[in-house]
Homo-oligomer: A and B are copies of this chain.
Amino acid sequence: MSSPTTLPRRIHVTEVGLRDGLQNEPVVLTTEQKLSLARALMAAGVREFEVTSFVSPRAVPALADAADVVAALRAETTGLHLSALVPNVRGAERALQAGVDSVVLFVSASESHNAKNVNRRVVESLEGVEQITRLLEGTGVALRGAIATSFGCPFEGNVPVESVTEIARHFADLGATHLSLGDTTGMATPPLVTERVTRLRQAAPDLPLTLHFHNTRGIGLANVMQGLALGVDRYESSIGGLGGCPFAPGASGNIATEDLAYLLEEMGLDTGLDLEGLIGAAGVAGDLMGRPLLGQVSKAGARLALSACDTVPTARGGA
């Protein structure tokens, strides 16, 4: 598996449902609906949100209210860390004006995905990152780097680890405070997690890593297990697994926050999250989407949510 490591005791979970989730859902929520979901998540202890994307409202109408969402959360709660995706200078200006704590700048590790995603070559995206970084100077707003297709590209297949480490070094040079490895279409595997985490720690030793897994092929939490074994203490997930995979109809997107929190809690790790509260928030998300979501623990209940003997059939003879 990996060299033995002491498990991190405190795990940071960033909720990305309002951004990565909603961006890939067919249903468009009103600002008030988004806030109702955010409130349910805050009631469950969520404090770190990737809350929206300052992307062109024409490209992603679901997130056209980015500034309103940030302003409303700022007005009603303190102690949150609100980050937002920013694809270009215009988006960065809007994000700064809205009052986010950090901006997430992303580059794909594969040319085809970057072209498909933002119509640019990777080197052009990196130049864009540099431009935006200059805007941040003196604002106190942190730069978080994100690398899409870090574990594989749906168009190109395997992605060389060097493509990932090179982008990571750019982010480190530009003063990023965090780096998130995006498993955009669920191509991460435990050996790839080990390889990429190990190499990134060599390439950018001062940049804390966040792992952002999708459950597209069912092994999202197996990859979290590998990340934990390597000592990685930051993960991103989406309540109810909100957000499908645009490349595979019916397939899962993000790992579900409540399932992740259940795993971490059962492993004795501190997340600051409340499972029952997250199950409630997953219910809110499912109601808003009008469909059953893909998280599991929300359907079965917490581990010790006991059944009454008289609610199940007798003498099935199963095992």
User: How many chain copies does the complex carry?
Assistant: 2
* Interface flags, A1-30, vs B, CB<8A=1, else 0: 101110100000000000010011000000
Complex Cα gap A291–B243 (Å): 22
Q: Is A228 an interface residue (CB 8 A)?
A: yes
A312 touches B247 (CB 8 A): yes
Q: Which residues of B contact A284 (CB under 8 A)?
A: none
Give residues 254-271 of A contacting B (CB, 8 Å): 256, 259, 262-263, 266-268
Residue of B nearest to A23 (CB): B318
Give residues 111-144 of A contacting B (CB, 8 Å): 112, 115-119
A303 touches B268 (CB 8 A): no
B-binding residues in A (CB < 8 A): 1, 3-5, 7, 20, 23-24, 53, 55-56, 59-60, 85, 87, 104, 106, 108, 112, 115-119, 146, 148, 152, 154-158, 182, 184-187, 189-191, 215-219, 221-222, 224-226, 228-229, 245-252, 256, 259, 262-263, 266-268, 292, 295-297, 299-301, 303-304, 306-309, 311-319
Add 20 more A-B contacts to A104-B319, A247-B300 (CB < 8 A): A1-B1, A56-B317, A59-B315, A59-B316, A59-B317, A85-B317, A117-B318, A117-B319, A146-B319, A148-B319, A156-B306, A157-B306, A182-B319, A218-B221, A218-B256, A218-B259, A247-B312, A248-B300, A251-B299, A252-B296
